[in-house]
Amino acid sequence: MAAGKQPKLLDAGSPVPDLRLKLLSGGEAGLHEIAARGPVLLAFFKISCPICQLTFPFLERLHAAGTLAIYGISQNDARDTRDFNEDFGITFPTLLDLEDDGFPASNAFGISSVPTLFLVEPGGTISHVIEGWRKKEMEFLATKAGAPVFRQGDNVPEWKAG
C-alpha cells in the first residue's frame, strides 16, 4: 500500500467510504450503491495471502446460500485476481483496489493486513469488522447469513493472523 502513515482501521459505526471501484467482471460499482441493497460483506484480500486462501472458500459457501451479499476487494490486478477466483472457486463479485490507483479502498478503510472483512448494513454503516481468521467470527457470519459455513470433517483453526 501507499507509503507513509497508515490510516486508522475503520470500526463499527463508521460510514462506508464513498468510492467507486472497477469490477473484475467489467464496469464499476460504488460502495454506497452496494450497501444500499442490503447487508453486504466486503472482504479485502491479496492473492498471495495464505489466510485469504483459507478464508475465501468458506465465504463462498456463505455466498452460495444467497442470503448475504459478499464482495471481494482484491489488492491484485485483474488477471491474477481472476486466476485466484478460479483456483479457489470464488463466484461472488470482486472489486479491484489497484496499486496503480494507490489502493484507494484499502487506504480509505485503513487496511494494514488481509483478510479484513467489513459487514456493512443498509444505509452504509459498518456494523462488524474482522481481521484475519477467527472461527467464531465465521460462525457469526454464518448466523447472519442463515447458512452453515462449516461441514463435518472440516479442519479449521480457531485463529490465524492476517
Total length of the chain: 162
pLDDT at 7: 78
pTM for the complete prediction? 0.95
pLDDT at 1: 47
Listed by start position, the domains of the chain span: 13-20+46-131
> What does the pLDDT profile of the chain (162 residues) look like in tens digits?
445 566 799 999 999 999 999 999 999 999 999 998 889 999 999 999 999 999 999 999 999 999 999 999 999 999 999 999 999 999 999 999 999 999 999 999 999 999 999 999 999 999 999 999 999 999 999 999 999 999 999 999 999 998
**Cis peptide, bond prior to residue 7, ω within 30 of zero:** no
CATH 3.10.450.50 fits 13-20+46-131, yes or no: no
- CA triplet 139, 111, 90: central angle to 5 degrees? 50
H or E stretch at 87? helix 78-88
CA distance 72 to 81: 10
Q: Are 26 and 93 in contact (CB under 8 A)?
A: no
CA distance 37 to 34: 6
